[in-house]
Every structure is written in C-alpha cells, then in structure tokens.
Structure 1
Amino acid sequence: MDDKDRQIIRALQRDGRMTNQELAEAVNLSPSPCLRRVRNLEANGVIRGYSAEVDAKAYGIAITVFVRIRLERHNETDVQHFERRMQMIEEVLECHVLTGVMDYQLRVLVPDLEAYEDFIRNRIHPIGGIASIDTSFVYGTVKRTAVFPLPS
C-alpha cells in the first residue's frame, strides 16, 4: 500500500458513494488507474465493503452505551463462549478485547433505558461467567469520524 492507495481510502471513507471519476479527480489520477487501485484494494480485503452512515436517533435507537465486562475465568472455553455470544447480539455494534482491569468493551445501541435493562438481564446475564459489568451512557458526542489518520 502506498500513499496514493491511502488517499483513495480516505476519500472513500469521507464519501463512499463518489463516482470513480470524482475519486480519480480527488486523488489526482486518471479514471482507469484509479479504478484498478480500488479493485485491488477490494480484492486484497483492505476495503471490506461499503455502508450508509445512519443517524441512530432518527432511526429510533437514541441511546449509545459503552459496556465494560470482566469475565470470571479466562480459560479458552469461557472466552470463546462469550465471544461467540457477542457475535449473535444485534444491539452490540462493537466488541473490543481490552488490556487492564476489564476484559471487553462493547458499544451498544438501544432505544431507551428499559431496552438497556432488558439487554443486560436477557442477553448479557444468561451468558454466564461474567464477574462484573460497568456501564457508561453517552450523553453527547464531541467527535466521530470514519476517516483513518495517516500513518507516521
């Protein structure tokens, strides 16, 4: 991957619906080499797909919650079980493995507090093997971007 590929990626992260002609102009390439580069990035799994950025509140899911979870045991069976369950829960948009005191951080979207209570009681607690759950509700967002920084 070179600087031109990174320019293409950043342009597509800003606007994934731009035409190849617009993209080529934005990164100072002619359309054919630009399209070849995009197809190579897709074929190599660097660009994994395209999606729409949707306003969660307008969609009807107004509450974003960060949930940190610590497991009771860290054996392979319990870890795999927990991670498989995370893959199946729609409210969990992201699940990250952490260093430090907590083992996982989830980004969860729910429509209201009652839905969050239901999420904890009926989706998280039944997993078992959880030592602690720490919750932070988002009441504002200062910055959100999908555009990667340039590597040093």
Structure 2
Amino acid sequence: MPKNDLDKTDLEILKNLQADGRLTNVELATKIELSPSPCLRRVKQLEESGVISGYQAALNRKAVGLDMTVFVEMRVVKQDRARVMSILEQLTNQSEVVSCHLVSGQSDILAEIVVPSLEAYDAFLSDFLMTLEGVEDVRSNFAIRTLKANGPLPLQHLERSDQ
C-alpha cells in the first residue's frame, strides 16, 4: 500500500495503534468509529503492505538496568561500499545497538547504544567498536537526560486536504 493510498481511516488506525499497540480490534474499531470487520480488514492490509512492520513492548530502559545511552559517531577510513556494509552489519548484530544510521556530514555512521554503566560502555568500546576494521574515528556522546524517546511517527504529512 503506497503512502499516498492511505486515507483518513488508515491514518486514524495508525495513530491509535502507535499510542496503544495492545488495543483489541473492537476497541480500535470503536475509537475510529468503524465496525470491527472492516477495521480488522484494514489493519491486516496495513500489516501486509508493510506500513505496520510489527508490534513490540516499549520497555523503560532504567527499569531494566540500562542506565546509559550513548550516541556514537564513526568515520570510515575509506568509504567503499563493501567496507561500510560490513561495519553496518556488525553493528546491527550487536544487542547494545538499538539504532544505527548511515549519515552525511563529519561522520559516516551514527549508532545509539544502551548499556548498564560506563564500565559496560568502556568494554563495548574497547572490545568491539575499536576493533572494527576500517573505522578511523569513534566519538561518543553521552545522554545526560532523555526527554523523549521512541515517540510515535508524525503522520500529518500524509493527510490529504480532499479527505
């Protein structure tokens, strides 16, 4: 389902599921003022088209002992595709890496890493990040306080004026 095929009802489904992914179909149908069968059909279409890519529980990092968030910027020595792809694959296979982006600017890669402590990050940096072949520079930015994380995606750009 291409993004321009999303109508007002689809957007309402997406907004409600982003706010509470545990809504039952009946609860969702009531919230968007649609009967349960067509609501379920629409949710299935959104899932099958890849607009809804999955469901997961949002955990409180501190409550599970992950007290440190580090944003790591990396620069690759020589930017050939194979080397960059290898580094990205290695990064995304680490459970400590919760997001990873290929970026433009002074860095080539930006990764968000969560660990229990400074000592754990030191070990991750020394034992893993600094051993990645082709990484020229690693810069660590420590989050002092998180004000917003894992927020819902903004969807207002998909709203058409003719709906």
Question: TM-score band (shorter)?
Answer: over 0.9
Unaligned runs of 5+ in 1: none
Q: How many Å separate the matches in 2 of 1:18 and 1:123? A: 40
**1:145 Cα deviation (Å)?**
4.4
Q: What percentage of aligned pairs have identical amino acids?
A: 39
Q: Deviations over 1:18-50 (max 9, x none)?
A: 111111111121111110000111111111111
Aligned position for 2:71? 66
Unaligned runs of 5+ in 2: 1-5, 158-163
Alpha-carbon contact 1:91-1:108 (below 8 Å) kept: yes
**1:134 Cα deviation (Å)?**
1.2
Q: Against the structure 1 CA distance between its residues 145 and 27, is the aligned structure 2 distance closer, same or farther, given a 3 Å change threshold? A: farther
**Which of 84, 92, 95 is the aligned partner of 1:87?**
92
Count of residue pairs the alignment pairs up? 152
Aligned position for 1:117? 122
Alpha-carbon contact 1:14-1:146 (below 8 Å) kept: no
**Which of 9, 12, 16 is the aligned partner of 1:7?**
12
Q: How many Å separate the matches in 1 of 2:59 and 2:80? A: 38
1:16 correspondence with 2:28: no
**Which of 145, 149, 152 is the aligned partner of 2:154?**
149
Q: Secondary structure in 1 aligned to 2:89?
A: helix
Moved over 3 A (4+): none
Q: How many Å separate the matches in 1 of 2:82 and 2:105? A: 21
Aligned position for 1:78? 83
Q: How many Å separate the matches in 2 of 1:73 and 1:7? A: 46
**TM-score normalised to the size of structure 2?**
0.89
Q: CA RMSD in A?
A: 1.1
